[in-house]
């Protein structure tokens, strides 16, 4: 059973209005996002694929992966993509003490700022909770600290190894609209479905006149 529907219902979005679920209709613009990197080879493949379509995206990075692969993080930044915080240890907020969750998020932010142009990077403070699971108190504290909590409109389920490649692609094609925030993962687990679906998503929407921008 899927943890979330592929397309987040509008009632859920209305229940949590301080989270960002989508962007306003904006002249055929889509927002690709990639969670769980940076990952050797896979993130670089993703960057090369985006470049072929002149597409920009947003990468929500795990702090410990940034610590291991800072050179890949710099490639993401140097190619004009946005970078967000995905906690240091990919924590499930529902199962994590609030103080620990905030500390772990701040640790990831410090790690990112250390590797990037901290002044430019820190002004955005984009944050996506791993698994999409965050307690209300955790969210309130992060919002107070200036973070933007970025959720999504459409999730590809690319990490699900039981999902056929064609179904991963259809998850995106069937539910995406102007202004959608779309979730993929630049991770080992998602590699098969990502490498099948992403080029086809980029081709499909480029041919329909859409552009892809970073948050």
Q: Is 64 annotated in the active site?
A: no
Select which of 36, 86, 185, 186 is catalytic. 185
Select which of 35, 36, 158, 186 is catalytic. 35
Task: Tell me the mean pLDDT in the region 117-140.
Answer: 86
- Give 2's pLDDT tier (boundaries 50, 70, 90): low
**Whole-number Å distance between alpha carbons of 52 and 119:** 29
Task: Please write the tens of the pLDDT for every residue from 72-100.
Answer: 999 999 999 999 999 999 999 999 999 99
Q: Model-level pTM?
A: 0.95
Q: Hey, which residues does 150 pair with through a beta bridge?
A: 20
**Whole-number Å distance between alpha carbons of 19 and 160:** 25
Q: Hey, which residues does 35 pair with through a beta bridge?
A: 60, 185
Give the pLDDT confidence score for residue 202 in this predicted structure. Answer: 98
Q: Is 185 annotated in the active site?
A: yes
Give the pLDDT confidence score for residue 1 in this predicted structure. Answer: 44
Task: Please write the tens of the pLDDT for every residue from 160-208.
Answer: 999 999 999 999 999 999 999 999 999 999 999 999 999 999 999 999 9
Give the pLDDT confidence score for residue 124 in this predicted structure. Answer: 83
Q: 175-204 as b/e, with b when 16 or more CB fall inside 10 Å?
A: bbeebbbbbbbbbeebbbbbebbbeebbee
Taken in order of first residue, the domains within the chain and their CATH numbers are 10-212 (3.20.20.370)
The upper half-sphere exposure of residue 77, i.e. CA atoms within 13 Å in the direction of its Cβ, equals 17
Task: Please write the tens of the pLDDT for every residue from 60-73.
Answer: 999 999 999 999 99
* CB-CB contact of 115 with 130 (8 Å): no
Burial of 82 (0-12, 13-18, 19+ CB in 10 A): buried
């Amino acid at each position: 059973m899927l943890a979330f529907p592929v397309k987040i219902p509008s009632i859920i979005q209305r229940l949590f209005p301080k989270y960002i679920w989508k962007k306003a209709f904006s002249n055929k613009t889509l927002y690709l996002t990639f969670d769980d990197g940076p990952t050797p080879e896979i993130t670089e493949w993703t960057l090369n694929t985006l470049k072929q379509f002149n597409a920009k995206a947003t990468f929500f990075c795990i702090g410990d992966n940034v610590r291991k692969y800072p050179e890949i993080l710099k490639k993401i930044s140097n190619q004009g993509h946005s970078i967000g915080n995905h906690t240091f240890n990919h924590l499930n907020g529902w199962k994590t003490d609030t103080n620990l969750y905030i500390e772990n998020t701040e640790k990831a932010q410090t790690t990112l700022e250390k590797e990037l142009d901290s002044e430019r990077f820190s002004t955005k403070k984009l944050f996506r909770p791993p698994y999409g699971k965050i307690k209300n108190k955790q969210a309130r504290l992060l919002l107070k600290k200036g973070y933007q909590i970025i959720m999504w409109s459409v999730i590809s389920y690319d990490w699900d190894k039981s999902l056929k490649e064609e179904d991963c692609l259809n998850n995106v094609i069937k539910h995406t609209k102007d202004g959608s925030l779309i979730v993929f993962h630049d991770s080992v687990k998602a590699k098969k479905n990502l490498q099948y679906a992403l080029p086809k998503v980029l081709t499909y929407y480029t041919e329909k006149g859409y552009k892809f921008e970073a948050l």
